[in-house]
Amino acid sequence: MAKKKNAPAARTSISKDIHDLKTLNSDLVNEVAELRKQIEHLRSRLDSLTADCDILQIMEATYEAESATAELNAMEMPLLALRREQDAVERDLELVIEGSDITQYSEKAKHEKIRNKNWIFHPIAITAIFFVSTAVVSFYKSSKLGVSNSGHGSGSS
């Protein structure tokens, strides 16, 4: 008979355990559902932040490109003015060289060679004049290029 008395108590205990498990399961299901909602919200927020970051990077790159373009355009005007000035000076220099006394010196040297019969020194003088004039032209061109380059370097700082 003791078995019969213990049977209802065991059923009640099992029934209570089943009820507790169902309650626990229901609580866990609710908690999982809540956590899934939080995960979905966090994913949505992450996607939004990623899109915002991409937009910001595009805007920064666009701004940098536009700034560089504006700076180049601003530097182009003085550079063009310097280039026009350089061309004018080079034309003037060419006219000076063409109309200079180099040809007169060579003619004079020929006449003096005949008169003095020191024929070895006159070709040397003519060659020296040629080299000096070439050096002057080269120096002028390199100094003008140096001015252009140094002006360009200071404008970009």
What pLDDT does residue 12 have?
85
Domain boundary among 76, 92, 108: 76
Report d(CA 3, CA 97) in Å as an integer.
134
Report d(CA 144, CA 85) in Å as an integer.
10
CB 63 within 8 Å of CB 71: no
Let me know if residue 107 belongs to a domain.
yes
Give the tokens for residue 155.
């404008």
- Are residues 157 and 106 part of one domain? yes
What pLDDT does residue 101 have?
58
Domains contained in the chain, number: 2
> If DSSP codes are grouped into helix, strand and coil, which group holds residue 143?
helix
Question: What is the number of residues in the chain?
Answer: 157
Residue 122 CB neighbours (<10 A)? 19
Report d(CA 103, CA 119) in Å as an integer.
18
CB 86 within 8 Å of CB 148: yes
What pLDDT does residue 156 have?
44
What are the residue ranges in the chain where pLDDT is below 50? 1, 151-157
Let me know if residue 89 belongs to a domain.
no
Q: Which of 81, 91, 96 is nearest to 148 (CA)?
A: 81
Give the domain range for residue 153. 100-157
Let me know if residue 8 belongs to a domain.
no
Report d(CA 155, CA 73) in Å as an integer.
12
Let me know if residue 27 belongs to a domain.
yes
Let me know if residue 5 belongs to a domain.
no
Let me know if residue 9 belongs to a domain.
no
What pLDDT does residue 157 have?
40
